[in-house]
Amino acid sequence: ESLVPANFIRHIIAEDKANNKNDGKVATRFPPEPNGYLHIGHAKSICLNFTLAEENNGTCNLRFDDTNPEKESVEYMESIERDVAWLGFKWVGKYHASDYFETLYDYAVQLIKQGDAYVDGSTAEQMRLDRGTLTEPGKESPDRSRSIEENLDLFQRMRAGEFADGQYVLRAKIDMASPNINMRDPVIYRIRRAHHHRTGDAWCIYPMYDYTHCLSDMLEGITHSICTLEFEDHRPLYDWVLDTLKTPCHPQQIEFARLQLEYTIVSKRKLLQLVTEKHVSGWDDPRMPTISGLRRAGVTPEAIRDFCERIGVTKKNSWIEMSFLETCIRDDLNERALRAMAVLRPLRVIITNWEDGKTETYQIANHPQKPEMGTRAVPFGKVLLIEQDDFMENPPKDFKRLVPGGEVRLRGSYVIKCEEVIKDDAGNVIELRCTYDPATLGKNPEGRKVKGVIHWVSEQHALPAEIRLYDRLFSHPNPDTLDNFLDGINPDSLEVVTSARVEASLTDASPDVRYQFERTGYFCADSVDSKPGKLVFNRTVTLRDSWAK
Ligand code: ATP
Ligand code: MG
Ligand code: MG
């Protein structure tokens, strides 16, 4: 437990437990709005809420904050459940704000009866003007002094559908002169004839977020309601609703800094725009900062959780470098990825002193430092494929790979020597004739040093594969600061290589298995498009940071 880094929320909870606040219980919740897929920013909130509950023998609920029917859907709800579960967390209760619509209505009636809420017929525009500014108090609506009886009658008729959308709202009666604009008689109910994915057409009035959230927390017995810093100025309203209704319990709202990640965006609205305008193939495009995109790219839940733990939790907004997320992904994959060989742009190599039709098979370790991860069989034959890049006819001085007359080691196999270069009519190198040194299998050659090691596959045994080289979706470090964030898109964020040949052991590569293609990067089979006989691999991340400034 001492390995867990401290953060200010952990301190607050430890103190509350020490004081036996809430009888020492800890209950948190993760409250997404089902209006899009979850992104890496949500992962920070998920990890925080679920981990705090776990550490304190408490509970964490999943609650759908579904009060905006126009933007929400069952598809989004299902994706959220899938993503939270995939991250490895188990919610104790699964709730929806819409489960509470009747109760929330009753509480609104109570507010009206207490003289703490009123029905306002002002236009939206008038209300906006009357709200005032930071330096100027707001103006009270003439409807503010409406009688309780009349308010009760109008609110009931709002629910009954007697009025047009926008004709009336219910407002909390707080203080139009409050220095906090959120306290200037905020709207708590509006009329919206919108079909709700759970309650259908049962309601034509919907409660507002600030009113709904605190009551939902209270109804679930949440002790610590953790949210992002933008809600700091909403906390007085959160507390006002619960205090004014004298609810049986009063959760404590605690704010922390949201995740801001360079070279990407974490806003569902903008992610939705990327999807609808087809800048990406969908919410789960491997370039998306969504949980489903990261999963499809080959990132593991462990890497995401490690990232969330390592960035910590503070009350100060800051930017996290994309390279830090990539480092967490590499650290994780370096441990778990099976090593394999894949040749992206093949060049044929004929081993002239190898017997025709002969195959040798080597058992090569799946992980150089972890014998417990086993070995796989890698066949070697007369015709091999190496990367075009690993041969140069006129190399610079420091080139350590294959050159005319030079030697190189084939990973896990022999040292070969390039004896002859075959070209087509246009002068392109199309084939190399090489000899192998039979004395060099797993041994250094006698009397000379061979420095370079390259990867290879046997042409006869290798499998064709499509390889998708994904890179960062944005080439601008802060696309959010541009007038149009789309201008920050990286035009080279995907290169599809169709010429690749991969070693035979990958024949039924499952998307759940991560690979390091030797010298090339980390990959996994694409969960949507890869099939036996038609392999497709996604690059999760390169071996080294290619974006370092
Ligand atoms: P977006 O702006 O992307 O729509 P949101 O806050 O409106 O995000 P919600 O579905 O309401 O999305 O978020 C659910 C929870 O996740 C909230 O408690 C919210 O504070 C948290 N959350 C959202 N984005 C981030 C982020 N970037 N960093 C940390 N927590 C976040
Ligand atoms: Mg929200
Ligand atoms: Mg939002």
- pLDDT tens figures, 388-430: 999 999 999 999 999 999 999 999 999 999 999 999 999 999 9
Q: Pick the catalytic residue from 268, 305, 330, 514.
A: 268
User: Residue 157 falls within a domain, yes or no?
Assistant: yes
Residue 2 has pLDDT above 80, yes or no: no
Residue 489 forms part of a structural domain: yes
Q: Is residue 320 domain-shared with residue 363, that is, in the same domain?
A: no
Query: How far is the centre of ligand 3, averaged over its atoms, from the C-alpha of 343 (Å)?
Result: 43
Please check whether residues 165 and 201 belong to one and the same domain: yes
Q: Are residues 299 and 236 in the same domain?
A: no
Q: Which atom of ligand 1 is nearest to the CA of 38?
A: 10
In the chain, % of residues over pLDDT 70: 99
Residue 22 annotated as binding site? no
**pLDDT computed for residue 1 by the predictor:** 40
pLDDT at residue 276, as a whole number: 98
Looking at the CA of 34, which ligand is closest? 1
Positive or negative, the CA dihedral 183, 188, 193, 196 is positive
Residues 6+ apart with CB under 8 A from 214: 225, 237, 238, 239, 241, 242, 251, 253
Regarding the beta carbon of 514 and ligand 1, being less than 6 Å apart is answered no
Q: How many CB atoms lie within 10 A of CB 86?
A: 16
3-state secondary structure of 33: coil
Which amino acid makes up residue 81?
A: E
The answer to the question of whether 44 is labelled as a binding residue is yes
**What pLDDT sits at residue 548?**
78
CATH of the domain at 89: 3.40.50.620
Distance CA(84)–CA(64), nearest Å, equals: 12
User: Does the annotation flag 258 for ligand binding?
Assistant: yes
Per the CB < 8 A criterion, the answer to whether 218 and 242 are in contact is yes
| Residue 266, ligand 1, Cβ within 6 A | yes
Residue 332 near residue 303, CB atoms below 8 Å: yes
CB of 228 closer than 6 angstroms to any ligand 1 atom? yes
Q: Encoding tokens for residue 265?
A: 């965006």
Q: What is the ipTM of this complex?
A: 0.96
- Give the model's pLDDT for residue 6: 80
How far is it, in rounded angstroms, from Cα 121 to Cα 18?
Answer: 49
| Residue 31 is assigned to a structural domain of this protein | yes
34 lines ligand 1 (CB under 6 A): no
Do 194 and 234 sit in the same domain of this protein?
yes
pLDDT at 549: 61
The answer to whether the CB of 234 is under 6 A from ligand 1 is no
42 lines ligand 1 (CB under 6 A): yes
Residue 202: both structure tokens together: 């049962």
Is the pLDDT at 94 greater than 90, yes or no? Answer: yes
The verdict on 417 and 495 lying in the same domain is no
**Ligand 1 centroid, distance to 290 Cα (angstroms):** 12
Scanning the structure block, which residue is given the tokens 């839940």? 301
- Give the model's pLDDT for residue 133: 95
258 is catalytic: yes
Residue 197 belongs to a domain: yes
Short-list 333, 329, 286, 336, CA closest to 310: 329
Q: Is 45 in the pocket of ligand 1 (CB under 6 A)?
A: yes
Pairing of strands 338-340, 514-517: parallel
Asked if residue 446 and residue 469 are part of one domain, the reply reads no
> Which mutation among 35, 45, 283 tests ligand 1's pocket best, with the greatest number of atoms within 8 A of CB?
45
Residue 323, annotated as binding a ligand: no
> Is 212 touching ligand 1 by the criterion CB < 6 Å?
no
From the CA of 271, the nearest ligand is: 1
In Å, what is the CA distance from 467 to each residue of 299, 333, 470, 499?
A: 17, 18, 9, 8
Burial per residue of 137-162, b for 16 or more beta-carbon CB atoms within 10 angstroms, e otherwise: ebbebebeebeeeebeebbeebbeee
Q: Are residues 414 and 537 in the same domain?
A: no
28-80 confidence digits (pLDDT tens):
999 999 999 999 999 999 999 999 999 999 999 999 999 999 999 999 999 99
Please state the domain count of the chain.
3
**Interval 525-546 mean pLDDT:** 96
Range of the domain at 34: 8-256
CATH number at residue 490: 2.40.240.10
Q: Do the annotations mark residue 270 as ligand-binding? A: no
Q: How confident is the model at residue 364 (pLDDT cuts 50, 70, 90)?
A: very high
How is residue 32 written in tokens? 């997404």
Q: How far is the CA of 29 from the centre of ligand 3 (A)?
A: 17
pLDDT at 45: 98
Residue 132 CA, ligand 2 centroid: distance in Å: 25
Amino acid at 245: L
The average confidence (pLDDT) of the chain is 96
Alpha-carbon distance of 278 to 360, in angstroms, equals 48
Task: Provide the 10 A C-beta neighbour count for residue 172.
Answer: 24
End-to-end CA distance of the chain: give it in Å, rounded: 37
3-state secondary structure 397-465: CCCCCECCCCEEEECCCCEEEEEEEEECCCCCEEEEEEEEEHHHCCCCCCCCCCCCEECCEECCCCEEE
Radius of gyration of the CA atoms of the chain, in A? 31
Contacts of residue 466, defined as CB under 8 A and 6 or more positions apart, other chains included, come to: 496, 497, 498, 500, 529, 534, 535, 536, 537
In a shared domain, residues 397 and 509: no
Q: Is 33 annotated as a binding residue?
A: yes
Q: Give the dihedral sign, CA 274/279/281/285.
A: negative
409 in catalytic set: no
3-state secondary structure of 90: coil
Residue 110 and residue 17 share a domain: yes
* Residue 310: other Cβ atoms inside 10 A: 14
Phi, psi of 352 (to 5 degrees): -70, -30
User: Are the C-beta atoms of 118 and 171 separated by less than 8 Å?
Assistant: yes
pLDDT at 3 over 60: no
The 10 Å CB-count burial string (b at 16+, else e) for 366-404 is bbeeeeebeebebbbbbebbbbbebbeeeeeeeeebbbb
Q: What is the pLDDT of residues 285-344, one digit of tens each?
A: 999 999 999 999 999 999 999 999 999 999 999 899 999 999 999 999 999 999 999 999
Q: Give domain status of residue 39, yes or no.
A: yes
* Cα 268 to ligand 3 centre (Å): 6
Give the tens place of pLDDT for each residue, 367-394.
Answer: 999 999 999 999 999 999 999 999 999 9
Out of 10, 25, 33, 345, which one is annotated catalytic? 33
The reply to whether 55 belongs to the active site is: no
Q: DSSP string of 195-249?
A: -BTTTBTS-SEEE-HHHHHHHHHHHTT-SEEEEEGGGGGGHHHHHHHHHHTT-S-
471 and 494 Cβ atoms separated by less than 8 Å = yes
Supply the residue whose CA is at minimum distance from atom 23 of ligand 1.
42
Are 406 and 279 in the same domain? no
Name the nearest CA neighbour of 468 among 489, 443, 495, 437: 495
Is 71 close to ligand 1, i.e. is its CB under 6 Å away?
A: no
Of 196, 226, 256, which residue is a domain's last?
256
- Look at the alpha carbons of 179, 182, 186, 192 in this order and tell me if their dihedral is positive or negative: positive
At residue 545, the 3 state secondary structure works out as: coil
Over residues 126-146, the mean pLDDT reads: 97
pTM: 0.96
- 12 and 130 together in one domain: yes
Question: Ligand 1 mean position to 96 CA, how many Å?
Answer: 16
Per-residue pLDDT reduced to its tens digit, 248-296: 999 999 999 999 999 999 999 999 999 999 999 999 999 999 999 999 9
Rounded CA-CA distance 346/416 in Å is 17
